[in-house]
Structure 1
């Protein structure tokens, strides 16, 4: 099953592919995401774009790295005549135009959208429009992926809570039968013993069930609801 980040990066690839259709043949796009200690290319329209991202990291200089440092967009219209990144420029003599657009989400820098072009005439107007639309769409994709991850985390916590509750209920039934007491009194007994032994209530409950039944308590299965398939008669 793909992870949320894999689904996010797959969506980024689709995004770059669509934006690349508005670019001239000599233009290449990449989306690089910030990690804890580095930045990695998550999607690109050409393999060369990923190599150019890597070249900047290898040389320690380049417009993408400067844009990441400042958090502001950066446009280079004549790279060979620009003296700011000599090592990067020497490794990419064919490049003429580089534009870096920061990708932000709620004030946090996610990464960088970069377009590389070998055409000295730069990019046409529709290419710039495609870049702006793509840069605005990436945070939307991230918000969707983040929301899905949070929902899955909440669902996992809920399932664990229900499982824990089910095991405690099994132990309560045992204590009620042994002590001939109410459910509330049985729970007070479990809570007091858990405090005395410094163990969690659900762990104590599991040990009680295992001691009486001779096997670990059965964890209930919580299945995902089946997807409803609707059919239409023609």
Structure 2
């Protein structure tokens, strides 16, 4: 599976993941320890957990280079360990975490890309409840939606920043066009062609050529247009 791009506002995304775990663990009758581990370049990182012990267990597997979490990431499918103590594959993990009896890893996906794993560590000897496994699957789906939403927001912020920069440079170009039109007594189209040819000849961006013209004539750098963010809308009860 391909590796997804990560949202730029990591802190906000991770806070939302922590809230997902808080809600999930309350809905699980056997109250397992939960963690969300995201995969990166040749490593995994625990970004949210319901108990510090769950993060430590993730870390033990990362350090050893093997474990249910890494197996789920490798195959891209759920991995369930019915009895950690008797499973020959994970003897080291069992030895270092004797209180954990069962483990379930649910892959986290978004638009066909594997994000990481939601892991349940059960400290009880009884089999993980079906309700807990159902909650894990539902939570994994919500994490995928949350990731897409966070990524869309990050992309929109990037587009907005690019648009602001484009509008700012356009304002500088318009100032230079006015100067060229007055000096050459030509149309706006002809003035633009003059700027374009200078830009190509000197291998300099058009807005930089425009800024030089404005500064040469006015004696000071061109004034950039200031764009203010619209006020954020607050959702709440109307008074």
Provide the TM-score with structure 2 as the length reference: 0.91
The answer to whether residue 118 in structure 2 is matched with residue 113 in structure 1 is yes
Secondary structure at the residue paired with 1:120? coil
Provide the residue aligned with 2:46 in structure 1. 41
Provide the residue aligned with 2:37 in structure 1. 32
Q: Which runs of 5+ in 2 are unaligned?
A: 1-6
Q: Conserved in 1, the CA contact under 8 Å of 2:30 and 2:129?
A: no
**How far apart in 2 are the matches of 1:99 and 1:110?**
17
Q: Conserved in 1, the CA contact under 8 Å of 2:30 and 2:132?
A: no
CA shift at 1:232, angstroms? 5.3
One of 64, 71, 93 as aligned partner of 1:66: 71
CA shift at 1:125, angstroms? 2.7
Provide the residue aligned with 2:136 in structure 1. 131
CA shift at 1:5, angstroms? 2.2
In angstroms, what is the RMSD of aligned CA positions? 1.9
**How far apart in 1 are the matches of 2:237 and 2:113?**
45
Provide the residue aligned with 1:94 in structure 2. 99
Secondary structure at the residue paired with 1:84? helix
Q: In the TM superposition, what whole-angstrom CA distance separates every residue of 1:148-167 from its partner, at most 9, and x where no partner exists?
A: 01111111111111111101
Secondary structure at the residue paired with 1:85? helix
Provide the residue aligned with 1:208 in structure 2. 213
The answer to whether residue 186 in structure 2 is matched with residue 181 in structure 1 is yes
Q: Conserved in 2, the CA contact under 8 Å of 1:4 and 1:149?
A: yes
**How far apart in 2 are the matches of 1:32 and 1:52?**
11
